[in-house]
Amino acid sequence: MTYLELVNAVLRKLREEPASTVNETDYTALIGAFVNDAKRLVEDSWDWSALRTTQEFLTTAGTDTYALTGFGTRSEIFQVFDETNKMELKKISIKEARKRNMLTDDQQGNITHYAMAGTSATGDVQIKLFPVPEQNSCTISVYGIKRPDDLVNDGDSVYVAPHVIVDWAYSFATIERGETGGRNGAEQAVFAKDSLSSAIALDARYHDEELNWEVV
């Protein structure tokens, strides 16, 4: 569903006239804000299949820190591979990565580890490779979750559970407005939680290997 379609779905639940654009009135713009709040809540609640992606970049000899363009700060990284040298890189803390660099005088070599290294000036998450790459054009493949930015334009689309986003946005709207003649805000929040749980359970079927529990 598009941003405008989501807003109009919430407006219908509120017994309001549909809008021709999200920012048509102050009230439709408020509903748009609730839609984005709901979108972030839903996206952050689970590692959705639709948000899983692989991004590649090429190394530059002597450079150890790389920004993952478009990943933002709400992303998650599951695995990192050196495709050129056929090796999965092991994750270490940034403190450990800095310690290793200090103790080895920035020794260059084949990459074996990576660490999360804050964000770039453009707001994208960065990773630090260790040792410092000695080769140009090694292909590094990053597999993880890329959560998109807020919806802005009427035609912007969501990738996960649009009906759940509508349920949560409607919940926020009923709390803000008060009694709507249907469910009150608290009742709608319970309904939205159940809707989200069901959507997560359905998507989790594709990743049942990640849901194995062991007694410790």
Domain ranges in the chain?
A: 3-47+160-205, 51-145
- Cβ atoms of residues 29 and 36 within 8 Å: no
What pLDDT was estimated at residue 165? 98
pLDDT-derived band of residue 142, with 50, 70 and 90 as boundaries? Answer: very high
pLDDT top residue among 199 and 135 = 199
Pick 22 or 134 by higher pLDDT.
22
The pTM for the full model equals 0.85
Q: What is the mean pLDDT of residues 88-94?
A: 93
pLDDT band at 216 (very low <50, low <70, confident <90, very high): very low
pLDDT in tens, 161-210: 999 999 999 999 998 887 655 667 788 889 999 999 999 999 998 887 66
4, 9, 83, 202 from 18: Cα distances, Å: 9, 8, 50, 31
**DSSP 3-state of 136:** coil
